[in-house]
Amino acid sequence: MESVTSSAAMAALPETFQEARDDIAGQIGLIWDQVKAPVIVPLLRLTAFLCLVMSVMLFVEKVYMAIVIVGIKLSGRRPDRRYKWEPLREDLELGNSAFPMVLVQIPMFNEKEVYKLSIGAACGLSWPSDRIIIQVLDDSTDPIIKDLVVMECERWASKGINIRYEIRDNRNGYKAGALKEGMKHSYVKNCDFVAIFDADFQPEADFLSRTVPFLVHNPQLGLVQARWKFSNSNECLMTRMQEMSLDYHFTVEQEVGSSMYSFFGFNGTAGVWRISALNEAGGWKDRTTVEDMDLAVRASLKGWKFVYLSDLKVKNELPSTFKAYRYQQHRWSCGPANLFRKMLMEIIRNKKVSPFKKVHVIYNFFFVRKIVAHIVTFVFYCVVIPATVLVPEVEIPKWGSVYIPSIITLLNAVGTPRSLHLIVFWILFENVMSLHRTKATFVGLLETSKVNEWIVTEKLGDALKTKAITKASKKPKIRIGDRLHVLELGVGAFLFFCGFYDLGFGRNHYFIYLFLQGFAFFAVGFGYVGIFVPHS
């Protein structure tokens, strides 16, 4: 009797589970049907409409800049044709005093791997030794690294280089605070111009002789900016992706801003400022994480013009790890959004610049490039389009889901012709990064607690080569928590769910894109992107 009862119970148990499962699925389906029509569909339609509007805005901006660039190339509108430029030479009567006094600032923080490179490059600049001051602004907290930097400065000083090692007792304001403090020293009063190089930047010897004459012969110019050249762009796939994004910025955005408006965002390094322009703008401020852009906007509102030299390249290093790149992108996305919030009314009320330039700064420079571009990339391509698979009542027109994104992508990719074959990987990686950029943009706009979070981007310098020899047998210890990225894994799971749903029940045929993008999010989420492997 007991065995019969037991058998009956065992037979009934799976059936009970089946009924419970069907009941739960039915309840979820019922709730979805009740919420879908009155809430989900209208909300998704509104979001899709806004994303399409933003896509058109971004498309128009990209096409406009492409047309301008073509016009610049065809007309030969080079900086030395738009502004007066003559090489500076030693005068028979004045001697070296014919050359202006130049201050070279190198801000650094625990830069063990690259401090020798930047100091050596700065000390190797071709300029009269009595007309240049090298200022090393060391905020390092590691006493061993500080001692190494001091020894390097003393080594160059023994060779007759006018080099000053400056420290402060706090890190208030981070880089902006260090640069501001550096300008307070008495010897700076004798300087006319200041060149700034981050710790991983290595200018060529002729850098000053090619930039300073623009400032000397054109009193309306406040800034001369050089282009970045990446020494480790071939290190891994992630650095190739970074190169593609940054090359567009330097090839197109900076060139258009310089040629059409004499304004662009200072890149924080590889540039020379007229000190009087810097001071008139109010000097360095640490109210955002983009102190360089802040200074550029304020100087522009005072009427100063900027020039960009695309043919003058300064070697530097790209982040080789995803963690370092993510922190950098957070700073570069959060800072502009927060600066836009802080300066919008100041720009509108300004009376020194033309309405044409105001529109460019507010709409093109800030709103479209620094806010719209980040939001539409993530929200539209990683949320809205996948969601339409689950909500077929909402349709995205082909021009919005295919044609406009394709044209925008191609216009972005032409800046790096050698990497055109990597364009699919670049699209997928940029969409993953748009998650962090969008989050950072809202942090800046809403000014949350992390708005001024500043983490110095790690540089590896020559260690890339030496570590391959000295530590080839040692595998780096990486904690699981450092490898797993929950946000990316969550978005990847959502994309895979939408992909399988589209494959089984959908009609949009988005599943190929959804699976590829889902794999990209999972690859990053599980920590398989940006893991540097040194070359032997």
Q: What is the pLDDT of residues 417-431, one digit of tens each?
A: 899 999 999 999 999
Distance CA 51, CA 61 (A): 15
CA dist 341 to 248, 285, 348, 525, Å? 26, 15, 12, 31
Q: What is the pLDDT of residues 356-366, one digit of tens each?
A: 999 999 999 99
Distance CA 168, CA 182 (A): 9
Task: Please name the residues in contact with 372: beta carbons below 8 A apart, sequence gap of 6 or more.
Answer: 54, 57, 58
Question: Using an 8 Å Cβ cutoff, are 342 and 287 in contact?
Answer: yes
In this predicted structure, what is the pLDDT of residue 32? Answer: 66
Pairing outcome for strands 132-138 and 163-166: parallel
Distance CA 499, CA 516 (A): 9
Q: How many helices (H) and strands (E) does the chain have?
A: 22, 7
DSSP 3-70: HHHHHHHHHHHHHHHHHHHHHHHHHHHHHHHHHIIIIIHHHHHHHHHHHHHHHHHHHHHHHHHHHHHH
Which alpha helices (H) appear in 286-417, and where do they start and end? Answer: 291-301, 322-349, 355-359, 373-378, 385-390, 398, 404-413
Backbone angles phi, psi at 196, to 5 degrees: -120, 130
Query: Two tokens at 199?
Result: 């710790």
In this predicted structure, what is the pLDDT of residue 484? Answer: 84
Q: Which of 138, 198, 286, 292 is catalytic?
A: 292
CA dist 208 to 162, 292, 395, Å? 16, 20, 56
In this predicted structure, what is the pLDDT of residue 97? Answer: 83
In this predicted structure, what is the pLDDT of residue 533? Answer: 46
Q: Which of 139, 198, 294, 502 is catalytic?
A: 139
Task: Provide the terminal-to-terminal Cα distance of the chain, rounded to the nearest Å.
Answer: 75
Handedness of CA 286, 291, 293, 298 (dihedral sign): positive
- The DSSP 8-state label assigned to residue 401 in this structure reads I
Distance CA 247, CA 253 (A): 9
In this predicted structure, what is the pLDDT of residue 6? Answer: 45
Handedness of CA 393, 398, 402, 403 (dihedral sign): negative
Distance CA 271, CA 197 (A): 7
Residue 310 Ramachandran class (φ > 0 left, ψ -120 to 50 alpha, else beta): alpha
Backbone angles phi, psi at 521, to 5 degrees: -65, -40
Catalytic-residue membership of 292 = yes
Domain boundaries, the chain: 79-89+97-319
Q: What is the pTM of this model?
A: 0.88
Task: Please name the residues in contact with 83: beta carbons below 8 A apart, sequence gap of 6 or more.
Answer: 214, 217, 218, 221, 307
Domain 79-89+97-319 has CATH 3.40.640.10: no
Which alpha helices (H) appear in 480-510, and where do they start and end? Answer: 480-483, 486-504
Q: What share of the chain is helix, strand, coil (3-state, %, to 5)?
A: 60, 10, 30
Question: Using an 8 Å Cβ cutoff, are 321 and 530 in contact?
Answer: yes
Q: Residue 413's closest CA among 245, 254, 253, 238? A: 245
CA dist 43 to 39, 46, 47, 384, Å? 6, 5, 6, 10
- Burial status of residue 365 (CB atoms within 10 A of its CB: 0-12, 13-18, 19 or more): buried
Question: Using an 8 Å Cβ cutoff, are 214 and 304 in contact?
Answer: no
Distance CA 399, CA 51 (A): 13
Q: Which residues in the chain come in under a pLDDT of 50?
A: 1-13, 17, 464-476, 533-536
